[in-house]
Amino acid sequence: MAELNFGGVMENVITPSEFSLEKAREVLKNETIAVLGYGVQGPGQACNLRDNGFNVIVGQREGATYDKAVKDGWVPGETLFSLEEAAQRGTIVCMLLSDAAQIAVWPVVEKHLTPGKALYFSHGFGINWSDRTGIVPSQDVDVIMVAPKGSGTSLRTMFLEGRGVNASYAVHQNATGKALERVLAFGIGIGSGYLFETTFEREAVSDLTGERGSLMGAIQGLFLAQYEVLRENGHTPSEAFNETVEELTQSLMPLFSAKGMDWMYANCSTTAQRGALDWMTPFHDAIKPVMYKLYESVKSGKEAQISIDSNSQPDYREKLNEELKALRESEMWRTAEVVRQLRPENK
């Protein structure tokens, strides 16, 4: 475990050089890891663990995702089972279903959590808002979490490239006395770049805030506002999109990802630098009250309840697809399709 200085705050992090893959294999050598759900995080975590030499099985209902699991090499009756049978066979039972699906299958999973097993999550939602989800594990099982800071697709892609997605980890319940070793071994097993400690509450609140904020909700709102202003003032779709999205994602993001925002600023024109420095404060001052409103909505459980209520509606998927279709067919993202085709690597 290394203690590192993050902007003046000291934090403990775990890297593969400190908790090796060999040690992880030793810790989990007698475990059967049952991955329930093969949608978002399931494929990446299950396949990475399998490739790293761990004993993994998958639990999934029949359907499109079941067929995907078969294509990925999971064998029905050997390494691919129903959700209930996988939960029964597993010693570490991984709840990688959607938040709504976790609520629905919890009564089935709970009865197979015999003493000494571990219940694993990659999101703190179900446990943190247990008063709303009904997910309350018995005191005789470990409750642990590794939450990759990226999609399951990225986790798998970067693993195959020899890289790792950073992840947080938490121990909510240590019934066996070995929950910490279990969770660290799991984090190394899925190929995490490094692991930093959190709690189920902090992860759940920060995750929902990030998704609704800078990672998805706010970034789309910002893109659309700038694109609309440019279009309403006579700029073409191509120009508006390039100045709003394409230059950011293809040119500038790699710069501040590599060495920080100050380095990206330093590698732009003096005109761009001056304008960015002058306007970042008005944007900050306008956005921070919205972020506080968002944070309080998440912290209070309001956002969790909205998610639970909407996901439980019988026509939820249909309505969701309609909203996603409207987003996809908006002028800005139809323009994106043309711009992507013009990138040199796509010609």
Q: Which two tokens stand for residue 145?
A: 């979490």
pLDDT score recorded for residue 261: 94
Sheet strand arrangement including 56-59? 2-6, 9-14, 195-197, 167-173, 142-148, 118-121, 92-95, 33-36, 56-59, 80-81
pLDDT score recorded for residue 276: 94
Considering 123, 172, 235, 284, which one is annotated as catalytic?
123
Residue 219 predicted with pLDDT over 80 = yes
* Average pLDDT estimate for 250-268: 92
What tens digit of pLDDT does each residue of 158-183 get? 999 999 999 999 999 999 999 999 99
Q: Which two tokens stand for residue 31?
A: 């475990």
Chain region(s) in the chain for CATH 1.10.1040.10: 211-346
What tens digit of pLDDT does each residue of 272-329 get? 999 999 999 999 999 999 999 999 999 999 999 999 999 888 899 899 999 999 999 9
- The answer to whether residue 235 is catalytic is no
Residue 271 predicted with pLDDT over 90 = yes
Q: Can you point out the beta strands (E) in 71-197?
A: 80-81, 92-95, 118-121, 142-148, 167-173, 195-197
Average pLDDT score over the chain: 95
What tens digit of pLDDT does each residue of 104-143 get? 999 999 999 999 999 999 999 999 999 999 999 999 999 9
pLDDT score recorded for residue 145: 98
pLDDT score recorded for residue 312: 86
Considering the segment(s) 2-198 as one domain, its CATH architecture is: 3-Layer(aba) Sandwich (3.40)
Rounded to whole angstroms, the Cα distance separating 206 from 298 reads 9
CB neighbourhood size of 156 (10 A): 22
* Average pLDDT estimate for 186-199: 95
Looking at the chain, the whole-number percentage of residues with pLDDT higher than 70 is: 99
* Average pLDDT estimate for 340-347: 86
Chain region(s) in the chain for CATH 3.40.50.720: 2-198
Helix (H) or strand (E) holding 34: strand 33-36
Distances (CA, A) of 159 to 34, 48, 165, 283: 20, 7, 8, 37
Considering the segment(s) 211-346 as one domain, its CATH architecture is: Orthogonal Bundle (1.10)
